[in-house]
Amino acid sequence: MLLHITEVLDAARLAEAQALLARAPWVDGRVTAGHQSAQVKDNLQIPEGCPEHRALGDIVLGALERNPLFISAVLPLRVFPPLFNRYDPGMTFGAHVDNAIRQVTGTTSRIRTDVSCTLFLAPPESYDGGELIVEDTYGEKRVKLPAGDAVIYPSTSLHRVSPVTRGSRLASFFWIQSMVRDDGQRALLFDLDMAINRARGDLPAGHSSPTELTAVYHNLLRRWADA
């Protein structure tokens, strides 16, 4: 399931994040790439653990915790600490699949990458190129979103970032281990959750259908969840 989530960061938090990005140090992005990805990756990243990285991570994680659409779609068990990248003119990231397991730097903690997320941090009109291109069974999806918006997609997807030809593309990227590892099951639960929310708004107060559907939702989650 590929899903566009609007306004993950509101205007105030986006401005705070952009100020941190402007003064942050940048290093070769291949420092966090696996063997295969390093061969096709050409971008810059903020070093993990520096003050700006920690502050930016707190902003992103705090916003995700308050976003009900993200929670419903992803059903997060663990979220990898957000990373931050920049693509200047000529930079790109060729076709690749994200590593199945990621180890959190400086710890023994590992997560299984079920869902990938890109949070756009630069206005789309400020740069040319830089689309996230995700391949699925229906062909290629080209994604270039307003600053503060995010896209989630299965980590099993082949994807790439097209070359930037003007300006700088800034984004946060990270992975989520879901309580439900199967993308099809997560999609069904998400659709059911959205239907329940619509039923609550459409049906008279006290109608039994939302409660009955909620019971189905939680019984399916109980059957499919790892935790």
Confidence (pLDDT) at 34 = 60
pLDDT in tens, 187-213: 999 999 999 999 999 988 889 999 999
Confidence (pLDDT) at 206 = 85
And the tokens for 150? 């995010």
Average pLDDT, rounded, for the chain = 95
Q: Provide mean pLDDT across the span 150-159.
A: 97
Q: State whether residue 97 is helix, strand or coil.
A: coil
Is 169 annotated in a binding site? The answer is yes
Is 198 annotated in a binding site? The answer is no
185 has pLDDT over 80: yes
Dihedral (CA of 221, 222, 223, 224) sign: positive
Give how far Cα 46 sits from Cα of 8, 29, 50, 64, 66, Å.
21, 8, 8, 20, 25
Is 110 annotated in a binding site? The answer is no
- Domains annotated on the chain, with CATH: 3-178 (2.60.120.620), 183-224 (4.10.860)
Is 10 annotated in a binding site? The answer is no
Confidence of residue 33 (pLDDT cuts 50, 70, 90): low
d(CA 46, CA 86) in angstroms, rounded, equals 9
35 has pLDDT over 80: no
